[in-house]
Chains A and B, each alone.
Chain A
Amino acid sequence: MNQTVKRIAYYPGCSVMGTAVEYDQSTRALCAALGIELVEIPDWNCCGSTPAHSYDPLLGAALAGRNLSLAEELGLDVVMTPCPSCLKSLKGALREYQEQRQSFLDILQMPFSGRIRVISVLQMLYEDIGPEAIREKIRYGFANKVVVPYYGCLLSRPPEFARFDDPENPVSMDQLLRAIGLSVPDFPYKTECCGAAYGVTQNHIVGKLTGGILDMARHLGADAVAVACPLCQQNLDLRQAQVDRHCHTSFQMPVVYITQLLGFALGIDPKKLGINKLFVSADDLFKGTSEQLEKLTEPTTA
């Protein structure tokens, strides 16, 4: 598949318009390098995220349904999103279409076939591209760097809904990180919740739960935590100073997106991957190879 250009619909989600802008940048740059053409769903709307599915699944399903309907109109059969919470909402639309079809369609009032496939960027990288194909494309290695994979809650759970990887011990990110030469220890906190949307309303919860995750990463000698969720990244990175205060420590732990790590390994200019947008500096992780990188990327970036 990586030999020919494949077109898929792209649902960015609201968070990448603001605090997670580097996730969007790195996802787009990586897909371009892998020969995948992302067609952004025109005029997409918010899927409702946690607040919508906190009450009645039909509202979130209908909000997400509008986006799927617009994607179907493009004539594409796959929608990819970088955000696991958006993923849950988009898949929720497909489920409610199966379970409460009439009510769902009555609220949506748009054409909807329910035949579109919804995947996360991680699932696309692991299943449609694969660690081996990534390994063949490496142009830079990370010398002696240790990175722990943090999956969070929604990428593989619940299993009948996510239909991806293992719900208790997911390994997709582990294998992709190993493919680009990183050292990846077993990470016991890989699916423990970080505090999710409680950063604003119940900050002490994020302090404790994210603190536990960062503490385990530190104990394992990690140079960084790899993530695939904008909300997890926000809690672990943007809120790390708050977590530091809660835990009376200073973690100084970079928290980077899987798309940034793979993109760098494939030779994409760090600026295009938004490395400078991270709150806790990850420059040490991407150090040493940047000079080489400039030489190699010059002809292609001109």
Chain B
Amino acid sequence: MRALYFEDVYKKFGRTYALQGATFEIPRKVVAGLLGPNGAGKTTSIKIATGLLKCNRGKVEVLGLDPWNNGVEARMKIGVLHEKPAYPPNVRVSKLLLHLAKLRGRNLREVKRVATITGLEKYLEAKIRALSRGYLQRLGLAQALLGDPEMLLLDEPTANLDPLARMEILNLIKNLRKELDVTIIISSHILLELQKVCDYAVFIGVGRILDYGSMRDLAGRYGVEAILKIYSVKPRRLASILVREEYVEAIEIHDSYLIVRTQSGYWKNIEDKAFELGAENVELTTANLEDMYKAVVSRYAF
């Protein structure tokens, strides 16, 4: 079942189209990246999916619901972190979170739970204006996690953060996926960051959807370098054999697994070979997003 579905969606601001016939879908239980340059329509897509904006034309479904007409039901199932969110500055963190929790039928226990997950426990009694950018972003994540949503929409979650805070937020997102098993949709123009967390991508360029699919499919479609994680009890022996294959570009050896970089067209060969040599499991962790993005943009250049 689809987590998010856009069909021929148009959104106009004044005379400018933010989205022009956007069509894509994102399945459940993936970490999907909405990728595109600034002004491509990522934020507009997220706001339409949240029911904050109404599309001029087209069909939108969020977990099977129309977010504009069934907004309350849809928003009960999703959590949203907005790009540059504005919070009431003079309110205490706990008061805002408690109020938002109550809107979801939850109580103070829920506030404490999300504060623990996001590392905000010590700042619950602080006024929002006293929080640093990094902690404001944690507050954004905390309010998005209230009520155990089935899907998280994160709009530029690392924007305007220093490198350390960026790393912290990205690790937090990674952990969320592991611990909460939710669908996560992240909008960003920083490809390197998304590379670390995404297994599905939607490429947007100036209001149009260029392509979308799992990283595995996209890597194959655009012939970009793929990265495989191969689990084995004898990683060194496996590496010594795989390194002889001409399409293997690089291998990193770890205690219980290998990281193998290969041209995308050959990742299936590597997988077969690895299993042949006794590998326990093979995961296509990611393809090189930057190369993929370049390939997508050059194919669909306007």
| Bound pair (A, B) | no
Chain B residues with a Cβ under 8 A of chain A: none
